[in-house]
Amino acid sequence: MTPLPIPRSEIEKLLQEPLTIGERESVLGFTIDSETSKDLDDALWIEPNQAGVVISVHIADVTALVPIKSQLEEQALLRVETRYLASGNKPMFPRELSEDKLSLLEDQPRWTVTLRITLDESANIKQTQLLSTHLTSIKRFSYESADHTLKDPSQPLFQVLRYCELWAQKLAWKRQNRGAFGQSTIGGVTLDEEGKLVEPPLYHSQQIIQEFMVLANTAVARLAEEHRLPILYRNHTASAIAPESKLLIETLTTLGMPELVRQKLQSWLNPAIYSPAVIGHFALCVPAYTHFTSPIRRVADYINHRILKAIFVEGKPSPYDGKELDAIAQYINEKKQEVKEKRNEHFKEQRLVKTVNLLSQQDTIPTLSDKEFSQILKDSLKFAKLDKLVSEAKQRLENRTLKPSDLYYLVFGDYQNSDNKTVIKDELLNSLEEQPALSTQILQIASSISQTTVDYIEKKTASGKFAFWTVFEEKTIINPSIATNKQTAKHQANRYWLQGKLEDNLHDPAKIDEKNLEDHVTKATVIETPSVVTEEELDVSNLPPEAINNPIAYLHTTLQRLKLKNPVYVYEQMDTQWHCCCQVQWLDNTLIETEALGQTKKEGKTQASLKAMIALENYIIEDIEN
């Protein structure tokens, strides 16, 4: 249903409404928002004390100006929320209200609702008060100007912002320690409060706002739940196959790559919904959560203001009965899903148009950033072959700048010209020979995207070596991979499978001959021994000095911080030297494997650990973007 135009007379009446202070308490506060924001619906203040802190979140008192059951309210209910577009926004309330009369503009008196939240020194909520207040914002910060103030002690609000930053960090640590993954950065991937991938914050002050808004919404939900009040709770649940939160975080940390994280979270998480019933919020790991801090922009917040103000400030019953709240919640959920689907379709069309244009302009392809090249590689698979990208992909393969997700697209994509596929195959196999674990990573990505599993047929030769056939997409390789080390044999089997995929030379698993294994090995001589280890010059520019000075201890410490197992070291004496293989594992998989030679065991272990730290920095810790 399309919202109808609101009569001008109704808007004019509200614009002329005088803001009388009455019995409202006068409060201090300032706003922090993006440079272009005009609808400022929340402000902050902080008062540390010996027992902890009192954080005040002042929110525009929209319901004091917008009459209940009015046409303004009805139109807001139909719109559900303000929509932000590249060309501007479509506000939930008319601009004269949302960007002026209701907005908490600097030096302008405004009616507000204040949440006064008392925290102890461990950031536990001790008390939540809901107050009818009156605010004249003392400063309108942009994120950039707030960050500038945080670095300049001469600025008037420097100390206040520093307190805000300190308590925002405490709140974030507390949330993460209890197992929450929403509103966090995990393995270089940033998630919003519901576990959706978002761009990482550019400014410290963004984190202040995020933490204080999550705190305010949590405190309100807890207050309502304690009084058994039906409001529009924001519930978030996991699917039946989702692991418990700590294992989920460990998995996301090891995946690292946005495409894999997105695939996993889509299968593990249900969409968040509004409901008068309390279910809890899985991503934030709290028993009750709601939306309260944005009544100018979200109708759910506006409805919650109506209810909680009536009960806690005015001493009246809720203005909405159970049936009305159920109907409102259902409508909001359906409308948000409809908008999401339309937005996704719009962005998909935009990306595909951009990809078509780039493919027609071959000269511009080499100028693309790593992120842009990854995106065009991914989008090309949806409507075209990869031939136009082969030349640049080969160059980036030679430079070793492609990510595992890029390599997945090159293996599983389509080529019109078989020669182009051969070019990619030859250079890709060179890369996989240098970095054996990459083959396993590529198949892990394929497994996650196709929602299937990578299986193995495992045997041992008479001499005790490990023999592996990789089975994926119901196809396998004829010849097994054989090596003295189990994980080496598995990585190599995965490389053989990828080679078979590129050469269209995969077979039915039933056709392999497991009985004649030793004869087959003698003929094929597919035995990997660590006879030669190339000791290339290592790039340690991204590592801290302590990692370079003591790589073994630093690797152990880093893996503990990431909640991964300690590395596994395998040694073998080779003439006068020691060969050391270092494996970083997660569950039953080896994510990273490095090898090095040394005159002593310790020297080989040190060098292999240093290589593992470099690989870990590139694979897990760095901020990988899709």
What residue ranges do the domains of the chain occupy?
Answer: 8-349, 365-528, 545-621
**Binning pLDDT at 50, 70 and 90, where does residue 160 land?**
very high
The model's pLDDT over 571-598, given as tens digits with 9 standing for 90+, comes to: 777 667 778 888 887 766 677 888 888 8
The model's pLDDT over 260-272, given as tens digits with 9 standing for 90+, comes to: 787 788 889 999 9
Q: Is the pLDDT of residue 9 over 70?
A: no
> What pLDDT, on the 0 to 100 scale, is given for residue 516?
53
Q: Are strands 140-142 and 31-33 parallel, antiparallel or unpaired?
A: parallel
Residue type, position 615, single letter: A
When comparing pLDDT for 620 and 362, which is higher? 362
> What pLDDT, on the 0 to 100 scale, is given for residue 527?
34
CB 174 within 8 A of CB 608: no
Q: Is the four-CA dihedral 420, 426, 431, 435 of positive or negative sign?
A: positive
CB atoms within 10 A of CB 340: 11
Q: Is the pLDDT of residue 621 over 60?
A: no
> What pLDDT, on the 0 to 100 scale, is given for residue 593?
84
The model's pLDDT over 28-83, given as tens digits with 9 standing for 90+, comes to: 999 999 998 999 999 999 999 999 999 999 999 999 999 888 889 999 999 999 98
Residue the block writes with tokens 């600025």: 155
Tell me the whole-structure pTM to 2 decimals: 0.68
What radius of gyration do the chain's Cα atoms show? 29
Sheet bearing 577-586, strands edge to edge: 568-574, 577-586, 589-598
Residue the block writes with tokens 């054996």: 436
The model's pLDDT over 365-412, given as tens digits with 9 standing for 90+, comes to: 888 888 888 887 887 776 667 888 888 888 888 888 888 888 888 888
Q: Is the pLDDT of residue 251 over 50?
A: yes
CB atoms within 10 A of CB 106: 14
> What pLDDT, on the 0 to 100 scale, is given for residue 391?
85
CB 170 within 8 A of CB 123: yes
The model's pLDDT over 274-303, given as tens digits with 9 standing for 90+, comes to: 999 999 999 999 999 999 999 999 999 999
Residue type, position 359, single letter: L
> What pLDDT, on the 0 to 100 scale, is given for residue 526?
37
CA distances for 182 relative to 195, 252, 625, angstroms: 5, 12, 18
In our burial notation (b when 16+ CB lie closer than 10 A, e otherwise), range 578-593 reads: bbbbbbbbbeeebbbb
Helix or strand (DSSP H, E) at 128: strand 125-136
> What pLDDT, on the 0 to 100 scale, is given for residue 624?
34
Give CA–CA dist 62/564, Å, rounded: 48
Give CA–CA dist 265/242, Å, rounded: 9
Give CA–CA dist 498/408, Å, rounded: 10
In our burial notation (b when 16+ CB lie closer than 10 A, e otherwise), range 135-172 reads: bbbbbbbbbebbbebbeeeebeeeebbeebbebbebbb
CB 183 within 8 A of CB 168: no
Residue spans of beta strands (DSSP E) within 232-381 = 233-235, 273-275
Q: Is the pLDDT of residue 517 over 70?
A: no
**What is the rounded average pLDDT of the residues 542-561?**
80
- 257: its two tokens: 């790559």
> What's the CATH class of domain 545-621?
alpha beta
Residue the block writes with tokens 């809890």: 280
**What is the rounded average pLDDT of the residues 519-539?**
46
**Binning pLDDT at 50, 70 and 90, where does residue 256 land?**
low
